[in-house]
Amino acid sequence: MKAHFGKFALIVVAGSLALGGCATTGSVKRAQARADQAFVEGQKGQADAARAQGTAEAAGTAAQHAQGTADAAGSAAQGAGAAAQQAQATANAAQANGEQITALSTRLHRLEAAEWRRKHPKKAHHKHHPKKPPVQTSEGQARFHQ
């Protein structure tokens, strides 16, 4: 970079000589001072550019890291979504099983009740029959039913 500023200073001096025709010592010194000042400013610009390049590289590295983190988060979210779908499917299956168990339990209860009713029929209501007359024995005494 120094070579570029040195050439620039030489061009400035040569240009001043060409425009002025004859250069005085003062004008050459002023041109040299301006060239030196331009060189110092150029070095400052070069240092600023180097710092900016370092900052840009650090930002690029941070962006790559952030992208990696985002990719990992996306993968984790997909895994969580798959796990949630599986849990939902399991919950649906459990609910279906619960409903089936309830239906079977109700059916079993009805069958057990029907079986109990079959084995335990309703007792017939007793009708009031008129009392039978006592049976006469050969001895002539009445004998009652026992």
Q: Are 5 and 38 in contact (CB under 8 A)?
A: yes
Whether 144 shows a pLDDT value over 60: the answer reads no
Whether 146 shows a pLDDT value over 80: the answer reads no
Residue 142 DSSP code: E
Residue-wise pLDDT tens digits, 6-25: 566 556 555 655 555 566 88
Q: Are 5 and 42 in contact (CB under 8 A)?
A: yes
More confident residue, 73 or 18: 73
User: Could you count the other beta carbons within 10 Å of the beta carbon of residue 132?
Assistant: 8
Q: What is the mean pLDDT of the chain?
A: 82
